[in-house]
């Protein structure tokens, strides 16, 4: 079920809110059980059979959490439990997400004819698997109390706002909130506001850019201009698709009294790739930092070992996004750029405005090339697309598609650029200081945004969600 769907907006969400706040407002434990029930229904709405895999993850990691808590003083036993936990969770992820990739590559390399298994990729498996690992490791590290009630583990892993496309909520972040949180009218109103901002990003920017990006990438660029327009459209689409979903997830969490960490911080204003990854998909980059990079030794080892640790992190970051060489090379691409920055460019040093401008252009250009590598299907198409961007293909500089896909969507390009900058954040800060604006103007604006988004949904506008694939 999509957040940006009429089923969710007019049936699932209103019913959930009504029961939660009208009938269950004074029963803490029952509230959690109700949210768990609705979360499992939310997931099974689209995948009725694969919800059993999610339930399996809940049960197995609940048991691992109890075992870790029981044997935490016995280092050898607790480490063995951690190893078994990782084998279980990563093994499930490997089978359902990567088995076909490995079999097809074995067939290609060794000229074998092993049948490639036709396994459906469960939505959100990468997200809830990482959260499951976070739960057990955080209990092991003493960063959150073990849950003796399996239903609370179930709520943590399956809570519907962040279940299928993140952000990755670490157990230590909400361990205390599961049983001890307080819903307030202020949080409720701010949560709905944040949800509507995310809905706006998704429907009125990401979906419109998807039409352009899909034309350019799926059919191949028809001109140099279309190649650039398509790449820029995809850069806008993927940012607003995922940051919009994160806004909706964070907003819904706030409605129910949960405080989720931010997942995006205006990444396209970055002046280096290092800064970009501090601002983009923060929950994923910090997860890899704290659960992979630092346990490997981080930067507190030799220079060569630090480089190796970063290589592992970026290989895994790429592979996490999908079972394709494109994603692996995408991860390696950013690893190389980060190594160049760390050892040559040194992006954190002071620069004058012109130097900052050059660094900003370099960052945007590098990220744009990275998104081409991320989006194009197959390495051959990646090469063809990048060649087209630089006029190396047998295509004209400009064609009639520029008018169809560029000029007609100009308003949405402008909206994408405006919302990718901190200008809107500054406007929000001004609104917060004006009681009249907060009390009267903001509700009117939010109502208008909701009605416009609904009108687009009713018209049946294109409505994909990129991160459902991960």
Confidence of residue 468 (pLDDT cuts 50, 70, 90): low
Whether the Cβ atoms of residue 329 and residue 318 lie closer than 8 Å to each other: yes
Query: Does 174 lie in the same domain as 33?
Result: yes
Query: Does 421 lie in the same domain as 307?
Result: yes
In-domain check, residue 13: no
Query: Does 321 lie in the same domain as 405?
Result: yes
Does the structure show a pLDDT above 80 at 470?
no
Longest dimension (CA), the chain: 71
In-domain check, residue 90: yes
How many structural domains does the chain have? 2
Q: Is 149 left (phi over 0), alpha (psi -120 to 50) or beta?
A: beta
In-domain check, residue 342: yes
The DSSP symbol for 352 reads: -
Among the three residues 135, 167, 182, which one is the final residue of a domain in this structure?
Answer: 182
Query: Does 231 lie in the same domain as 311?
Result: yes
Does the structure show a pLDDT above 70 at 463?
no
In-domain check, residue 220: yes
pLDDT digit string, tens, across residues 399-439:
888 888 877 788 889 889 989 998 877 777 776 776 766 77
Q: Which of 254, 281, 321, 409 is catalytic?
A: 321
Query: Does 224 lie in the same domain as 143?
Result: no
**CA–CA separation, 319 and 316 (whole Å):** 5
In-domain check, residue 405: yes
Query: Does 191 lie in the same domain as 106?
Result: no
Is 321 in the active site? yes
CA distances to 209, 328, 470 from 324, in Å: 24, 7, 12
| pLDDT mean across residues, the chain | 90
In-domain check, residue 333: yes
Long-range contacts of 149-155 (CB under 8 A, 24+ apart): 150/58, 150/59, 150/62, 151/32, 151/33, 151/36, 152/32, 152/178, 152/179, 153/58, 153/61, 153/62, 153/65, 154/36, 154/40, 154/55, 154/58, 154/62, 155/32, 155/35, 155/36, 155/39
Query: Does 153 lie in the same domain as 138?
Result: yes
In-domain check, residue 4: no
Query: Does 143 lie in the same domain as 243?
Result: no
Verify cis geometry, omega within 30 degrees of 0, for the bond prior to 167. yes
Query: Does 193 lie in the same domain as 171?
Result: no
| Domain extent at residue 334 | 187-469
pLDDT digit string, tens, across residues 21-62:
998 877 777 999 999 999 999 999 877 888 999 999 999 999
Query: Does 398 lie in the same domain as 257?
Result: yes
Question: What value, to the nearest 5°, has the Cα angle with vertex 266 and ends 442 and 156?
Answer: 80
Query: 185-199, 284-298, 350-364: which has the minimum mean pLDDT?
Result: 350-364
Does the structure show a pLDDT above 80 at 270?
yes
Q: Evaluate the CA torsion angle 282, 147, 320, 231 in order and state its sign.
A: negative
Among the three residues 182, 215, 249, which one is the final residue of a domain in this structure?
Answer: 182
Query: Does 178 lie in the same domain as 211?
Result: no
pLDDT digit string, tens, across residues 116-144:
888 888 888 999 999 999 999 999 999 98
pLDDT digit string, tens, across residues 299-351:
888 889 999 999 999 999 999 998 899 999 999 999 999 999 988 877 777 77
Among the three residues 166, 182, 198, which one is the final residue of a domain in this structure?
Answer: 182
The encoded tokens of residue 13 equal: 């969400």
In-domain check, residue 388: yes
Query: Does 108 lie in the same domain as 195?
Result: no
| DSSP labels, 218-271 | HH--SSHHHHHHHHHHHHHHHHHHHHHHHHHHHHHHHHTT--PPP--S-GGG-S
């Amino acid at each position: 079920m999509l957040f940006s769907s009429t089923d969710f907006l007019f049936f699932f969400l209103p019913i959930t809110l009504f029961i939660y706040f009208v009938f269950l407002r004074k029963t803490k434990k029952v509230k959690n059980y109700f949210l768990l029930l609705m979360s499992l229904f939310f997931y099974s709405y689209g995948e009725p059979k694969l919800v059993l895999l999610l339930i399996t993850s809940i049960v197995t990691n609940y048991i691992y959490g109890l075992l870790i808590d029981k044997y935490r003083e016995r280092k050898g036993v607790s480490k063995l439990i951690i190893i078994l936990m990782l084998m279980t969770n990563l093994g499930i992820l490997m089978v359902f997400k990567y088995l076909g990739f490995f079999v097809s590559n074995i067939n290609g390399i060794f000229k074998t004819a092993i049948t490639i298994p036709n396994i459906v990729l469960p939505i959100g498996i990468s997200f809830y698997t990482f959260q499951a690992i976070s739960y057990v490791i955080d209990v092991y590290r003493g960063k959150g109390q073990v849950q003796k009630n399996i239903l609370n583990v179930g709520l943590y892993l399956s809570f519907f706002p962040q279940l299928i496309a993140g952000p990755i909520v670490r157990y230590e972040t909400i361990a205390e909130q599961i049983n001890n949180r307080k819903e307030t009218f202020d949080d409720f109103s701010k949560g709905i506001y944040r949800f509507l901002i995310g809905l706006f990003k998704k429907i009125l920017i990401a979906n419109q850019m998807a039409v352009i990006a899909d034309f350019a990438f799926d059919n191949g660029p028809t001109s140099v201009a279309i190649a650039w327009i398509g790449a820029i459209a995809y850069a806008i689409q993927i940012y607003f698709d995922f940051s919009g979903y994160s806004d909706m997830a964070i907003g819904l969490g706030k409605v129910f009294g949960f405080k989720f960490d931010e997942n995006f911080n205006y990444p396209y204003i970055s002046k280096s790739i290092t800064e970009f990854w501090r601002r983009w998909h923060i929950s994923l980059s910090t997860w890899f930092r704290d659960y992979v990079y630092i346990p490997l030794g981080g930067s507190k080892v030799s220079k060569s070992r630090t480089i190796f640790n970063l290589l592992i992190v970026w290989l895994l970051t790429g592979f996490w996004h999908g079972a394709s060489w494109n994603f692996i090379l995408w991860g390696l691409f950013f690893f190389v750029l980060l190594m160049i920055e760390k050892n040559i460019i040194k992006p954190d040093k002071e620069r004058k405005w012109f130097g900052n401008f050059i660094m900003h252009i370099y960052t945007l250009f590098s990220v744009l090339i990275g998104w081409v590598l991320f989006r194009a299907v197959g390495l051959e198409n990646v090469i063809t697309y990048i060649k087209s961007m630089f006029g190396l293909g047998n295509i004209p500089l400009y064609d009639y598609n520029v008018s169809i896909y560029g000029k007609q969507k100009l308003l949405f390009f402008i909206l994408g650029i405006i919302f990718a900058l901190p200008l809107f954040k500054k406007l929000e800060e001004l609104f917060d200081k004006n009681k009249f604006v907060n009390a009267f103007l903001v509700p009117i604006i939010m109502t208008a945004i909701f009605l416009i988004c609904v009108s687009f949904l009713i018209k049946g506008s294109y409505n994909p969600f990129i991160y459902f694939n991960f």
